[in-house]
Amino acid sequence: MYNDQKAGILKEQFPGKDYSFEYDPDYLRGDNPNISVTLPKKETPYTSDTLFPFFANLLPEGALRRVVCRQHHVDENDLFGILCAMNGADFIGAVSVRGNRDGD
């Protein structure tokens, strides 16, 4: 989500690898900004072997990460899992995460 508008879908193909991010067609049609300098708007999906740094940098660090992982029973090294566990949480900036690990 970007300012409460669906910006795209982030997916994990296999646990811990093979990620894709694809902008939502409605978001692309509108006069909306890129969600990140490293993810300029385009119609084709971005792919990566590791979680995109933009999304990894949304996650808490240190003691707060340990608390989130303990509360949600997520391994501290499972960055995508932590992101999913924080579904609906307040993030710094205009981007937020909605949905779940099953692709909602």
User: Residues 11-34: what's their mean pLDDT?
Assistant: 94
Structure tokens at 10: 């982030």
CA distances from 1 to 14, 27, 37, 46, 51 (A): 23, 10, 16, 17, 17
Instruction: Quote the domain boundaries for residue 32.
Output: 8-85
> Residue 8 burial by CB count (10 A; 0-12/13-18/19+): exposed, middle or buried?
buried
- Which residue do the tokens 């970007």 mark? 2
What is the model's pLDDT at position 16? 81
Residue 88 reports pLDDT greater than 70: yes
- Domains contained in the chain, number: 1
Asked, for residue 90, whether it belongs to a domain, the answer is no
- Domain presence at residue 99: no
What is residue 96's predicted lDDT score, i.e. its pLDDT?
Answer: 82
**Residue 1, domain member (yes or no):** no
Q: Which segments within 1-104 are labelled E, that is strand?
A: 8-14, 17-23, 46-48
User: What would the two tokens of residue 41 be?
Assistant: 């708007």
pLDDT at 104 over 80: no
For 43-84, write each residue's pLDDT tens digit: 999 999 999 999 999 999 999 999 999 999 999 999 999 999
